[in-house]
Amino acid sequence: MTLLWIALLPLLGVLVPPLVANRGRRDCSLATAALPALALVLTLSQVPALNAGEALRFSAEWIPALGLEVAFRLDGLSLLFNLLILGIGLLILLYAHYYLSPEEPYGRFYAYLILFMASMVGIVMADNLLLLWMFWELTSLSSFLLIGFWSHRSDARKGARMALVVTGAGGLALLAGFLLLGDMVGSFEMDRVLAAGETIQADPRFPLMLALVLLGAFAKSAQFPFQFWLPHAMAAPTPVSAYLHSATMVKAGIFLMARLHPALAGNELWTMVVSLVGMTTLLYGAWFALMKTELKGILAFSTVSHLGLVTVLLGIGSPMAVLAALFHILNHATFKAALFMSAGIIDHETGTRELARLGGLARAMPVTALLTSIAGAAMAGVPLLNGFLSKELFFAESLETPVLGGLSWLMPVMATLGGVLSVAYSLRLVHAVFFKPPRQTPPKTPHEPPRLMRLPVEIFAVLCVLVGLFPSAMAGGLLDLATQAVLLEPLEFHLAIWHGVNLPLLMSAIALVAGIGLYHLHRYLRRFLRGFHPVDARMIFEASIQRLGRRSEALLARLDNASLQRYMGLLMFSALALTSLGLVMVPSLAGDQPQRPVDGVLLTGAVLLIFSGLGTVLAHRYRLISLLLLSMVGLLVSLTFARFSAPDLALTQLSVEVVTMILLMLALFFLPQKTPRESSLPRNVRDTLLAGALGVAITSLNYAVLTRGTPSISGFFLDNSVPGGGGHNVVNVILVDFRGFDTLGEITVLALAGLAIFKLLNRLRLFMPHSDGEGRVWSPDRYPMILTTISQALLPLALLVSVFIFLRGHNLPGGGFIAGLITAVALILLYMARGVEWAQERLDFQYQPVAIVGVGVAAVTGVGSWLFGHPYLTSAFGHFHLPLIGDFELATAMIFDLGVYLAVVGATLMILANLGKVTTPHRPAKNEAAATTSAKEKR
């Protein structure tokens, strides 16, 4: 459980700063530090167990089907990184407390910083590849927020975006790599992955997987050729740079390479790729660090260079190289954090980070000068400091590696060259800022920073010295555990300051002497280099981003031109292409079943159907005629259903047809009566061809299905309708019982459509024509006498019929849907005959609640079955006997059907009655004044 808390506490800590941000800055900083500090204490409390050789694991299932679990581990490697992340993180908090000005939203800043800390802790402790990846992405996101913290600055925004794009894309590659890796091992559990090194490296997909994983790691750790994002990320506030870019974020890639070392390393591919990329990065970074003229730029490139150094060591992969890599991670974190923080102090106190404007600061800030000198010397690899020791180990390893075969002697040469450059840029950082006489005066008069702001730097500088002097005592134990975690076996080593006069020592000496020389010469070097035009990575990056944007826009403009006709055309074309593809695959269109003969009635019906369909299209510009022909299609479709043994469908289609036509007629009243001739001839031809081709495809498909005997699942429904559902009308039993859940969904959609229409009609004001399309004035006889009389007589009759249809629905054609439609039609007839006002006065209730109650009744009926311990919507039924009436059957499905009935009535009338109301407030006959007042009353 302790492990879970170590990982969880920082995550919970994200919530702290926003909660206490208004309690003042001091309290906020202290409260923010509390949970990470607790996590650090917990981590340290596990050290004895680790020393005893216990394997500390925690795991709980999360999504077992995906192999994802909440699993954490704490081994030496995690311990090393946890100490760096939490320890440095706390010191950074202290530093940030002084660095940020009080006006800045420090609560937000702390929250981002802790989120980042939590995700880093997650990475190093994750015991499951997928979990590790999730935290990995979380670091990309939180570092994006941190780098872009000063979002008003363009360089911050661009730098943040670049970091996100590069590390995010790397993260995707990493995910692909992890999925492959998990597939090879058969598990995402870390222990199983690490133990399966041989299986993994024997797999033919190993090179691909390795490439993907390394892509992720290199992008994160700014290895060549992804080094370009790191210098631009320096637009972040300095505490962020000090934290992310010295100790944590950029070390995530390195951590990953160390973590997966047993699984991936130890083969030629790994050694070759990793050590060469690392060496390139080492030299590239060191060279540009020397050329930069701004403090954080130098630090950024030197970070790139040192990351390269660690990568080379991991690439070499011998036990001593791994030890050297881990030792250098530790040392680099300490001296680089100190250097970043003093760069921040200099910036803070002088107002500039440009070397040209700085100089001679040792006089004004002697303590800072001393601290920076120590850290800088550690970076340069001056003896008696920590950087010297790990660099010495690096030189020794570079002498021994056979990575380049016959050219392996190049490795120590390049390593020494890197050392020379590193001495030179360290000197620039220290000497040029503090000891060289100033050429210009800085914007602010420099002085020492607040005592506590300097404290973190002091701690790190002291650590540099202490580790340098007493390596075994200070770091031996930690490194012992960490190497053991990486190599999976203990390693005998002894860290010493003095190894006697040997080649590595000579290399160090060369590096020191030549570095000092290079520093003095570098002015000439820069003058020489002025002839070359520097390539700015950001320019290239921004240009390619913009190009991508423009291309996408051009593509979108072609596809998405906000024209429905274009979309429909594309949609139909795709449908046509896919359907045709499917049809081409079918060996023959006609199936094995013979066609049945056609009789006269069928032929007449089909011809009528085809002609009324075509007529609808041909007359489509004359909308009323087109509509009348459409109603004919509807009637014929209803007859088709009746002809092919579907009485329920025929009844439904008929009543829906009535309602649809009334609706469309009413709507047409408000719309133009004619469609203008707009489409050009080519477009008409194109549309005809497209629609025609789809028609042919549909015909073929339908024919192919009809001539094949297809197995049906309907036997089940036929067999179980009476014994299981208690009804003889199978269609209705399916609707209200077997597939009741679908029906519930459908009436919900119906009710929602009704509500949406109600909302759409709200306050709609439309032009009301006085005459029809031909210029004929509407008839003044608004409510014809005959219709009025008949409708009133018809209403009770129609309601009776609908009750009858409803009740018999379970056993004979009928049911809630049809009954609801009949009721709706009867009521609408009343509206038409008497007008909305008259009907509204008498039918004094809203339809929205009816529809909602209907859906509610249906839903509650389903819940009812829970009470009896059955699944949702299980029905029950029974036979009852009443004197006089006789035997009858009652089923809970009837109540469900009642819900359907109410929903249909409510939704249909909601649609039509509300649409009818639109006509009333401003009928042509009434004067405008009356219209506006009644409209106001309505509101």
Q: Say whether residue 659 binds other proteins (CB under 8 A).
A: yes
Query: In 3D, which of 522, 488, 423 has the Cα closest to residue 53?
Result: 488
| 679 scored as a contact of other proteins (CB under 8 A) | yes
What residues between 882 and 921 interact with other proteins by CB under 8 A? 904, 907-908, 911, 915
Asked if residue 111 binds other proteins (CB under 8 A), the reply is no
Among 645, 775, 785, 869, binds other proteins (CB under 8 A): 645
Apex 75 CA angle, 259 and 326, nearest 5: 55
Q: How far is CA 302 from the centre of its chain?
A: 34
CB of 881 to other proteins, least distance (A): 22
Smallest distance from other proteins to CB 718, Å: 6
> Residue 16, interface with other proteins (CB under 8 A)?
no
CB within 8 Å of 457: residues ≥ 6 apart: 338, 341, 342, 345, 368, 371, 372, 375
Tell the smallest beta-carbon distance from residue 830 to other proteins (Å): 19
Rule CB under 8 A: is residue 143 a binding residue for other proteins?
no
Task: Determine the Cα–Cα distance for residues 9 and 43; give it in Å rounded to an integer.
Answer: 11
Q: Which long-range contacts (CB under 8 A, 24 or more apart) does 48-54 make?
A: 50/74, 50/75, 50/76, 50/79, 50/481, 51/477, 51/481
Burial (CB < 10 A; 0-12, 13-18, 19+), residue 771, is: exposed
Nearer to other proteins, 397 or 648 (CB): 648
Establish if 823 lies at the interface with other proteins (CB under 8 A): no
Q: What is the chain's alpha carbon radius of gyration, rounded to the nearest angstrom?
A: 40
How many Å apart are CA 336 and CA 460, to the nearest integer? 9
Nearer to other proteins, 308 or 813 (CB): 813
Q: Which is nearer to other proteins, 186 or 695 (CB)?
A: 695
In degrees, rounded to 5, the angle at the alpha carbon of residue 518 between the alpha carbons of residues 514 and 522 is 175
Tell me whether residue 490 or residue 692 sits nearer to other proteins (CB atom): 692
By CB under 8 A, name the one of 204, 676, 871, 886 that touches other proteins.
676
Regarding 639 and contact with other proteins (CB under 8 A), the answer is no
Does 548 participate in binding other proteins (rule CB under 8 A)?
no
Contact pick of 413, 718, 797, 930 for other proteins (by CB under 8 A):
718
Site for other proteins in 317-356 (CB under 8 A): none
644 binds other proteins (CB under 8 A): yes
Phi/psi at 36 (5° precision): -60, -35
Among 22, 101, 154, 595, binds other proteins (CB under 8 A): 595
Choose, by CB under 8 A, the member of 404, 505, 664, 853 that binds other proteins: 664
**225 upstream amide cis, omega within 30 of 0:** yes
> Which listed residue (364, 514, 761, 787) binds other proteins by CB under 8 A?
761
Tokens of 150: 């000063």
681 binds other proteins (CB under 8 A): no
Which of the stretches 114-122, 419-427, 706-714, 870-878 binds other proteins when contact is defined by CB under 8 A?
A: 706-714
3-state SS string over 376-391?
A: HHHHHCCCCCHHHHHH
CB of 774 to other proteins, least distance (A): 17
Candidate list 413, 540, 570, 671; residue touching other proteins; CB under 8 A = 671
Q: Measured from the CB atom, is 304 or 649 closer to other proteins?
A: 649
Residue with tokens 């998990």: 182
Among 53, 597, 780, 878, binds other proteins (CB under 8 A): 597
Interface residue with other proteins among 434, 717, 831, 847 (CB under 8 A) is 717
Contacts 24+ apart (CB under 8 A), 761-769: 761/914, 761/915, 761/917, 761/918, 763/939, 764/918, 765/922, 765/935, 766/670, 766/918, 767/670, 768/669, 768/670, 768/919, 768/922, 768/923, 768/924, 769/669, 769/673, 769/924
Q: Residues 407, 501, 535, 562: which binds other proteins (CB under 8 A)?
A: 562
Query: Which backbone phi and psi does 73 adopt, to 5 degrees?
Result: -135, 155
Nearer to other proteins by Cβ, of 492 and 887: the residue is 887
- Residue 312 Cα distances to 144, 246, 334, 425, angstroms: 28, 18, 20, 20
Query: CB-wise, 183 or 746, nearer to other proteins?
Result: 746
Shortest distance, position 864 Cβ to other proteins, whole Å: 22
Backbone angles phi, psi at 121, to 5 degrees: -60, -40
Using CB under 8 A as the binding rule, the residues of this chain from 208 to 227 that contact other proteins are none
Q: Residue 641 interacts with other proteins (CB under 8 A)?
A: yes
Among 452, 543, 764, 790, binds other proteins (CB under 8 A): 764
Q: If binding means CB under 8 A, how many residues of this protein chain bind other proteins?
A: 111
Task: Please choose, out of 529-537, 540-548, 657-665, 786-794, the segment that lies near other proteins by the rule CB under 8 A.
Answer: 657-665
Rounded to the nearest whole angstrom, what is the least distance from the CB of residue 691 to other proteins in the complex? 4
Which residue in 525, 667, 685, 777 binds other proteins (CB under 8 A)?
667
Q: Facing residues of 886 across strands?
A: 882
User: Contacting other proteins (CB under 8 A), which of 643, 770, 923, 926?
Assistant: 643
Taking CB under 8 A as the rule, which mask of x and - marks residues 847-886 in contact with other proteins? ----------------------------------------
768 binds other proteins (CB under 8 A): no
CB closer to other proteins out of 618 and 793: 618
In terms of phi and psi (left: phi > 0; alpha: psi -120 to 50; beta: otherwise), the region of 845 is beta
Q: Which stretch binds other proteins (CB under 8 A): 249-257, 330-338, 670-678, 874-882?
A: 670-678
In the region spanning residues 605 to 634, those forming contacts with other proteins, defined by CB under 8 A, are 606, 609-610, 613-614, 616-617, 620, 623, 626-627, 630, 633-634
Q: DSSP assignment of 653-676, as one string?
A: HHHHHHHHHHHHHHHHHHS-SB--
Please report whether residue 647 would count as binding other proteins according to CB under 8 A: yes
Report 778-817 residues binding other proteins (CB under 8 A): 811-813, 817
Q: How far is the CB of 185 from other proteins (least distance, A)?
A: 46
Instruction: Report residue 195 as tokens.
Output: 């133990």
Q: Is 743 in the site for other proteins (CB under 8 A)?
A: yes
Token pair of 103 as six digits: 């006006």
Nearer to other proteins, 405 or 597 (CB): 597
**Whose Cβ is closer to other proteins: residue 291's or residue 668's?**
668
Part of the chain binding other proteins (CB under 8 A), chosen from 207-215, 414-422, 735-743, 931-939: 735-743
The residue type found at 922 is H
**Sign of the alpha-carbon dihedral angle for 787, 792, 793, 799:** positive
- Taken as a whole, the chain contains a residue count of 939
Applying CB under 8 A, the span of 184-192, 260-268, 469-477, 659-667 interacting with other proteins comes to 659-667
Using CB under 8 A as the binding rule, whether residue 640 contacts other proteins is answered as yes
754 counts as binding other proteins under rule CB under 8 A: yes
Dump the DSSP string for 46-115: THHHHHTT--EEEEEEEEGGGTEEEEEEE-HHHHHHHIIIIIIHHHHHHHHHHHS-TTS-HHHHHHHHHH
Residue closer to other proteins, measured from CB, 303 or 729: 729
Of 225 and 672, which CB lies nearer to other proteins in the complex structure? 672
CA atoms of 125 and 66, how far apart (whole Å): 20
CA angle in degrees (0–180, nearest 5) for 512-513-518: 95
Min dist. Cβ of residue 575 to other proteins (A): 9
Q: Which residues between 465 and 484 bind other proteins (CB under 8 A)?
A: none
| Helix (H) or strand (E) run with residue 162 in it | helix 154-185
